[in-house]
């Protein structure tokens, strides 16, 4: 019995791939509005069925309503390894159960926690919390003032785990675990200062230094490496290959139960470790 994968465009922000067999139904959900075009899913896919789209052109708004990645549905088995996306852009539902809730699948470890015992709302600290809200690159951090009461909330599905909030907050008030540890190198000679990396960086850690004089020679781009999560968006989409990402470690949440696929998944996630800077 041949089982086909069906492609369903639900709306301009959601694409689904569905496969229904005699024992299970699998639905892969790709959310265009959450995808940053980092290319991690293309690196992870064991069958190479995911391809990066024109992410640079999309970031410059040269093209519209175009997905940053595409799936070759005739080859995709809906294995779900791409759902380890750190930006929650891809999900897989197996018989109405999200794969993220199945204990036999390992995931990338990415966490942000607030220690409310370390938080006080003095006039000075309230200013700090407001500043953190302003610098959050994805508007995931919220300082709430209501009826004389104060609180802090983080929308984790928006969070990119850059660590800006933890860096600026009082000591030990916020803890961030990034999915990767590593380093990043830029070949300033090859760089053409096209700004693609600046526009697509999900943590806004890449910028173009201001020039005091016309034709001044200096760094074409500047990277705040402490806020980089080493996702690879800049490297994958640089048109002149001027950026290189090194991942020295991959933080993994181990599966709570063993299954035939568990070890393979862990090996694939470990393969995201690339070189040493």
Lowest pLDDT segment from 12-21, 22-31, 99-108: 12-21
* C-alpha 74 chain-centroid distance: 26
User: pLDDT value at position 1?
Assistant: 41
Domains belonging to the chain, first-starting first, are 5-103+258-270 (3.30.70), 111-176 (3.30.70.20), 180-250 (3.30.70.20)
Tokens of 66: 């175009």
Contacting residues for 271 by C-beta, under 8 A, at least 6 apart = 43, 44
Task: Report the distance separating Cα 210 and Cα 159, nearest Å.
Answer: 28
pLDDT at 163 over 50: yes
- Angle made by CA atoms 64, 66, 72, in degrees to the nearest 5: 170
The answer to whether residue 244 scores a pLDDT higher than 60 is yes
C-alpha 234: how far from its chain's center?
Answer: 12
- Give the rounded distance of the alpha carbon of 273 from its chain centre: 16
Burial 22-46 (b: 16+ CB within 10 A, else e): eeeebbbbbbbeebbbbbbbbbbbe
Q: What's the whole-model pTM score? A: 0.89
Tell me, rounded to whole angstroms, the distance of Cα 79 from its chain centroid: 20
State the pLDDT confidence band at 200, using cuts at 50, 70 and 90. very high
* Residues 195/206, Cβ–Cβ less than 8 Å: no
DSSP 130: H
Q: Do 56 and 68 meet the contact criterion of CB atoms below 8 Å apart?
A: no
Cα separation, 8 vs 232, in Å, equals 28
Is 50 exceeded by the pLDDT of residue 2? no
Quick: pLDDT tens for 204-237.
999 998 876 666 666 789 999 999 999 999 999 9
CA–CA separation, 261 and 33 (whole Å): 30
SS (H, E, C) 177-208: ECCEEEEEEECCCCCCCCCHHHHHCCCCCEEC
Question: What are residue 253's DSSP bridge partners?
Answer: 107
pLDDT grade for 133, boundaries at 50, 70 and 90: very high
Residue 277 pLDDT > 60, yes or no? no
In DSSP notation, 51-101 reads EE--HHHHHTTSS-S--SEEE-TTT-----GGGG-TTS-EEEEETTEEGGG
pLDDT at 165: 96
Q: Is the dihedral of CA 135, 138, 140, 142 positive or negative?
A: positive
């Amino acid at each position: 019995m041949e089982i086909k994968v069906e492609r369903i465009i639900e709306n301009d922000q959601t694409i689904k791939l569905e496969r229904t067999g005699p024992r299970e139904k699998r639905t892969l959900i790709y959310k265009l509005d959450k995808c940053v075009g980092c290319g991690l899913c293309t690196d992870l896919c064991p069958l190479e069925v995911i391809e990066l789209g024109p992410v640079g052109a999309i970031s410059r708004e040269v093209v519209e309503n175009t997905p940053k990645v595409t799936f070759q549905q005739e080859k995709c088995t809906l294995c779900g390894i791409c759902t380890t996306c750190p930006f929650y852009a891809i999900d897989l539902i197996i018989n109405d159960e999200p794969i993220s809730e199945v204990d036999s699948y390992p995931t990338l470890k990415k966490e942000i926690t607030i220690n409310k015992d370390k938080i006080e709302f003095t006039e000075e600290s309230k200013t700090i919390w407001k500043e953190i809200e302003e610098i959050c690159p994805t508007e995931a951090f919220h300082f709430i003032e209501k009826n004389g009461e104060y609180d802090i909330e983080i929308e984790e599905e928006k969070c990119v785990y850059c660590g800006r909030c933890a860096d600026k907050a009082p000591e030990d008030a916020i803890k961030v675990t990034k999915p990767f540890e590593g380093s990043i190198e830029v070949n300033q000679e090859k760089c053409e200062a096209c700004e693609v990396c600046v526009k697509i960086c999900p943590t806004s850690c890449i910028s173009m230094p201001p020039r005091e004089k016309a034709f001044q020679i200096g760094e074409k781009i500047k990277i705040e490496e402490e806020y980089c999560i080493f996702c690879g968006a800049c490297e994958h989409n640089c048109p002149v290959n001027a950026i290189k990402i090194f991942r020295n470690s991959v933080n993994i949440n181990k599966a709570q139960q063993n299954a035939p696929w568990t070890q393979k998944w862990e090996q694939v996630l470990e393969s995201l470790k690339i070189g040493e800077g």
